[in-house]
Structure 1
Amino acid sequence: MSDGFEAEKSQASKWFRSLRAEIVAAFEGLEDSHQGKGEPRRFEVSETKRAAPDGGDAGGGLMSVMRGGRVFEKVGVNVSTVYGELGEAAQKAMAARGVPGMADDPRFWASGISLVAHMQNPHVPAVHMNTRMFWTPHAWWFGGGSDLNPCIEYDDDTAHFHATQKAHLDPHGSDHYPKLKAWADEYFFIPHRHRARGVGGIFMDDYCTGDWEADFKLTKDIGRAFLPAYVPLVEKRRDTQWTEADKETQLVHRGLYAEYNLVYDRGTKFGLATGHDANAVLMSLPPLAKWV
């Protein structure tokens, strides 16, 4: 599949893998440094494959999941690079979003990183982050962002999370943070609950200014913002005493997260519709949740 865009694809795929390695190391470090008895958990890493309709090579990635840690109840950090031809339903969905040429040439290539962390302590916020690049013969774009999902909200945690993201976006232009924040507020809203699923963050999709290098640098800084935005919150809250009522609040709040990802999330729909490993696509779901 030679298309003159191979160098850019390679750069993007390598970046997502390097970011994945950095985050996995940081999260295992949080487990190592936590007070408590017993050996800390490690990520279980497995390869994933996209199922091509003709049985041929369609790409895949790595699924890294840690369960039952002292800090993380369940956290997944996945990367993938997949390619092939989009099915009819996916072609129509892309065309509806304004992607040109789908009927003429349905080839695609996509690479990205996706992370969701569900925490043991209800005072530590859950979090989501993903960044990705998508290519077709007639278009390319970037997407992704990160958002904070506390069940027990702390204003200073929210302020730190947003301020760190703003600091990473401002070098790209002062208009980026407010625009991507508003985009996240709209995207991570749950219509049937009439509320947001968390306290927001930043988000973009179908992002293409025509300058690939500039757009890639922005995407990398969205990824670079994640650890300094989130790790200090974990370190601050992980030893906070919690009650059974706090845990109940956490489990009910996780129901919101599950509802959103199963009903509205574009990445979940795309992954399942295009034949990617279902376990990797649904990695984002919490280990336990409740509904009232």
Structure 2
Amino acid sequence: MKQQKSTASAWFRTLRDEIVKAFETLEDTQTEGAFADLPAGRFEVTETTRTGDDGEDAGGGLMSVMRGGRVFEKVGVNISTVYGTLGARAQAAMMARKGLDGMADDPRFWAAGISLVAHMQNPHAPAVHMNTRMFWTPHAWWFGGGSDLNPCIEYDEDTAHFHKTQKAWLDPHGESHYPKLKVWADEYFYIPHRNRARGVGGVFMDDHCTGDWAADFTLTQDLGRAFLPAYVPLVEKRRNTEWSEADKDAQLVHRGLYAEYNLVYDRGTKFGLETGHDANAVLMSLPPLAKWV
């Protein structure tokens, strides 16, 4: 499994580099609209580190954040590879969710992945989330992730494009994948206390392990590869749309909804904070400004 871990970790770095380049290109080509006079946004890159309970190195990653750009008000693209032992709370959660026997006897883990959240300047351009990851323990390994669209002003044709593109990348792996992962996203990105979805959905999976590591990794890669063709055309279409103060207000309220979900329900946020990862990197997903009515 050592080689597979290395391969997965390297892939997440490759995907990160492709996305960062594509987003900075969007900034460079933004020559119209209210924010065109700003300097083209660039990612600030910070190395993150994690220290285990014993004080030893426990991995880390790169936190890449762009703030105040022409297109992106705030966007983060983080990668990490972390390892060590799970604490008692994380062990209990893992045993309850996956039924893994022996976690208390051997609580070692290894995890690598990429996580992205984009909050836009123009309220007509949709916010978005994407992540893919691999998780290993001595008792099991699995993949997870996906992407979902979070517009504050919805366009049916944008939603259709986002879903159609993801389906096109998933269908070669079996036509049952897209319907299953779409429903999974609808259920996972639901906010019970608001009785509504966080956005217009996408695809999501967790605990994915067929026993064929190569096949499962390829599926995970295509979840990541689908992101840019699913999302970038929507930004290009909406980034110059005229907007009003009412539109901006709607965007801030929707961001409040997004923050509620990430702080109350998101498993990745909880896992990152409970296992001692850099808090700034974990909370990168929060919007720069939000509003509650």
Counterpart for residue 11 of structure 1: 7
User: Does structure 2 retain, via aligned residues, the 8 Å contact 1:100–1:139?
Assistant: no
Give the C-alpha shift of residue 100 in structure 1. Answer: 3.3
Counterpart for residue 282 of structure 1: 283
Q: Say which SS state the counterpart of residue 287 (structure 1) adopts.
A: coil
Counterpart for residue 184 of structure 2: 183
Amino acid at match of 1:81: T
Give the C-alpha shift of residue 52 in structure 1. Answer: 1.2
User: Does structure 1 retain, via aligned residues, the 8 Å contact 2:143–2:220?
Assistant: yes
Matches within 5 A, 1:1-292: 5-35=1-31, 36-98=36-98, 99-292=100-293
User: Does structure 2 retain, via aligned residues, the 8 Å contact 1:51–1:277?
Assistant: no
Deviations 1:110-165 (A, max 9, x none): 00000000000000000000000000011000000000000000000000000000
Matches of 1:100 and 1:181, distance apart in 2: 30
Deviations 1:226-260 (A, max 9, x none): 00000000000000000000000000000110000
User: Does structure 2 retain, via aligned residues, the 8 Å contact 1:86–1:274?
Assistant: yes
Q: Say which SS state the counterpart of residue 97 (structure 1) adopts.
A: helix
Spell out structure 1 runs of 4+ moving beyond 4 A.
none
Residues 157 and 92 of structure 1: is their aligned pair in 2 closer, same or farther, counting only changes over 3 Å? same
Seq. identity, %: 81
Deviations 1:73-119 (A, max 9, x none): 00000000000000011000100112332122000000000000000
The gaps in structure 2 that reach 5 residues or longer are none
Residues 151 and 19 of structure 1: is their aligned pair in 2 closer, same or farther, counting only changes over 3 Å? same
Q: Aligned pairs, how many?
A: 288
Matches of 2:51 and 2:245, distance apart in 1: 43
Matches of 1:160 and 1:100, distance apart in 2: 42
Matches of 2:258 and 2:73, distance apart in 1: 15
The gaps in structure 1 that reach 5 residues or longer are none
User: TM-score under structure 1 normalisation?
Assistant: 0.98
Matches of 2:236 and 2:188, distance apart in 1: 28
Amino acid at match of 2:151: P
Give the C-alpha shift of residue 37 in structure 1. Answer: 2.5
CA RMSD of aligned residues (A): 0.6
